[in-house]
Structure 1
Amino acid sequence: MALGCPVISSDRASMPEICGDAALLASPSDPERWVQCVAYLLQSMSLRQELAARGRERSKIYSWNKSAEGYLDLLASQN
């Protein structure tokens, strides 16, 4: 996402929350859905561009520094 690549992701665990509306989602147990998502991306330049733009914006929410700061804050609050 951060590199501007349209994403197809699993719809399990935290992936829907992380990806938000910036990815197409598919069940790991539904190979036909994965193929369908790839076909959508191949057929639609506008979908590729939209997901790429959303993904770049969405990826700004996440960073290693923010994660580390969150853990440090949590540890500090435990003392």
Structure 2
Amino acid sequence: MVLDNPLVVETAARYGITSAQLCMRSYLQLDLLPLPKTANLAYIANNAEVGFEISATDMDALETAEHVHDYGDSSFFPVFGGKL
């Protein structure tokens, strides 16, 4: 799972945020619309706290992070399939 990727976890820790927040913010900085999936109100509120900027260096590092190779039926999607 991308939220457990060591690079994602380490980068999020440096910013003092969760892996989910880092992923959400990185998508926004790529001009993509993240669609988090949760019914937990606490997670929804936490995921919305993305009022920070990820440095260009960290964005480059995240872009080269190991891709998750199998998202099942969703593997065709460019973000998940490493085609973006």
TM (normalized to structure 1)? 0.32
Q: Which has the higher contact order (CA 8 A, sep 6+)?
A: 1
Identify the structure with the greater helix proportion.
1
**Greater gyration radius:** 1
Identify the structure with the greater strand proportion.
1
TM (normalized to structure 2)? 0.30
